[in-house]
């Protein structure tokens, strides 16, 4: 019976009372990774601004810009997570009387925790500072990349949504009622606000439906002929030309929206992939740092 009690007592004494998690090295590695992330994001913002220009044809293509941004995200995660994980592994206290497999697991876990804490710091504490610093640059790049398409398609977008305010649908209505002789201006009595309003409503409803009925097209051609002095046939051709221009602008708007959707989805997927890469790199770097620390201490003891 005494032997049994003694065995239990010895077994209980072999358990360590200290935690397997060393928060000091984890926090230090996380701060190092967060700081490097901020620096690299600023560098990336500067490099991105060199790729865009307000001059036509002087900017890189949207595909090139998106690919470069995705590659840079991976590089940022690679370098910052590698630094944070390596410092976490090198700074932690050496574990004695522990199996090598357990040491590898703890180093891996410490690197992962350092990466996770750094990610929270960047997303939370440093998020507002990053947004304030590089937000203007990112906005400028986005405006340059999409400004031309947005300007060309805003009228059609408003028409499709049923809003005919301001300069959106007015441009197409003005195109319909331009005089036959472009060197002159229509007489004042011909500038009928009522016919202009009717033409606007017809275009808005047709844009919402996706097509213009034959009756509406014939009536609109009569309005154009009465306002511009064109023959009925020429007025009908003008109506067809304006409708084709509106359809083309609407298609460009849809293409731009679809491209923005795809770009957002790609950015989200690449961002998630870069974070997975960062977690892996931080874990491996922590193992490397821990191994180097243990080897250096072993050489010092032997020396």
> Which tens digit of pLDDT belongs to each residue from 184-198?
444 444 456 777 787
Helix (H) or strand (E) holding 18: none
pLDDT digits (tens, 9 = 90+) for 160-176: 444 444 455 676 777 77
**Residue 303 CA: distances (Å) to CA of 51, 202, 289, 297, 300:** 55, 93, 21, 10, 5
Distance CA 287, CA 110 (A): 9
pLDDT of 17 over the 90 cut: no
Higher pLDDT, 25 or 61: 25
pLDDT grade for 286, boundaries at 50, 70 and 90: very high
Distance CA 175, CA 18 (A): 81
What is the pLDDT at residue 131?
57
When mean pLDDT is compared across 87-91, 178-182, 231-235, 248-252, the lowest value belongs to 178-182
Distance CA 204, CA 237 (A): 19
pLDDT grade for 44, boundaries at 50, 70 and 90: confident
What is the pLDDT at residue 21?
85
| In contact, 283 and 111? CB cutoff 8 Å | yes
**Residue 13 CA: distances (Å) to CA of 7, 8, 16, 70, 94:** 10, 9, 8, 53, 21
* Domain assignments of the chain as residue spans, ordered by start: 22-151+259-302, 158-251
Integer distance in angstroms from the first to the last C-alpha of the chain?
A: 47
pLDDT of 33 over the 50 cut: yes
> Which 8-state DSSP code applies to residue 162?
T
**pTM for the whole structure:** 0.60
Q: What is the CA radius of gyration of the chain?
A: 34
| In contact, 97 and 16? CB cutoff 8 Å | no
Number of Cβ within 10 Å of residue 39's Cβ equals 13
| In contact, 66 and 266? CB cutoff 8 Å | yes
| The two structure tokens encoding residue 157 | 């977008």
Which residue, among 43, 61, 63, has the nearest Cα to 53 in the 3D structure? 61
pLDDT digits (tens, 9 = 90+) for 58-82: 666 666 777 787 888 889 999 999 9
What is the pLDDT at residue 84?
94
Residue holding tokens 């190092």?
Answer: 32
Number of Cβ within 10 Å of residue 18's Cβ equals 8
Q: Which residues contact 254 (CB under 8 A, 6 or more apart)?
A: none
Mean pLDDT of the chain, nearest integer: 75
Chain center to CA of 132: 16
What is the pLDDT at residue 267?
76
What is the pLDDT at residue 166?
45
What is the pLDDT at residue 302?
67
Looking at the chain, how many residues does it have? Answer: 303
Torsion-angle region of 210 (φ positive above 0: left; ψ -120 to 50: alpha; else: beta): left
pLDDT of 12 over the 50 cut: no
pLDDT digits (tens, 9 = 90+) for 199-258: 888 887 777 777 888 888 888 888 888 888 888 888 888 888 888 888 888 888 888 888
């Amino acid at each position: 019976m005494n032997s049994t009690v003694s065995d239990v007592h010895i077994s209980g004494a072999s358990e360590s009372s200290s935690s397997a998690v060393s928060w000091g090295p984890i926090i230090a590695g996380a701060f190092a990774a967060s700081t490097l992330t901020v620096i690299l994001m600023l560098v990336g913002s500067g490099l991105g601004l060199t790729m865009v220009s307000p001059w036509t044809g002087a900017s890189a293509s949207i595909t090139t810009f998106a690919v470069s941004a995705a590659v840079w995200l991976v590089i940022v995660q690679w370098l910052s997570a590698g630094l944070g994980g390596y410092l976490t592994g090198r700074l932690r206290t050496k574990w004695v009387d522990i199996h090598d497999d357990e040491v590898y697991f703890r180093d891996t876990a410490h690197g992962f925790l350092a990466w996770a804490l750094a990610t929270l710091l960047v997303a939370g504490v440093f998020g507002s500072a990053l947004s304030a610093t590089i937000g203007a640059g990112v906005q400028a790049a986005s405006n340059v990349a999409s400004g031309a398409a947005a300007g060309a398609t805003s009228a059609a977008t408003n028409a499709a949504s049923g809003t005919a305010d301001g300069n959106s649908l007015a441009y197409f209505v003005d195109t319909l009622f331009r005089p036959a002789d472009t060197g002159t201006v229509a007489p004042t009595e011909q500038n009928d606000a009522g016919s202009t309003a009717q033409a606007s409503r017809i275009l808005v409803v047709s844009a919402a439906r996706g097509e213009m009925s034959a009756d509406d097209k014939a009536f609109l051609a009569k309005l154009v002929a009465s306002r511009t002095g064109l023959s009925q046939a020429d007025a009908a051709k003008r109506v067809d030309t304006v409708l084709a221009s509106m359809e083309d602008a609407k298609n460009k708007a849809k293409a731009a929206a679809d491209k923005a959707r795809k770009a957002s989805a790609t950015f989200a997927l690449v961002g998630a992939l870069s974070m997975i890469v960062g977690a892996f790199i931080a874990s491996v770097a922590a193992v490397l740092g821990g191994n180097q620390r243990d080897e250096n201490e072993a050489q010092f003891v032997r020396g």
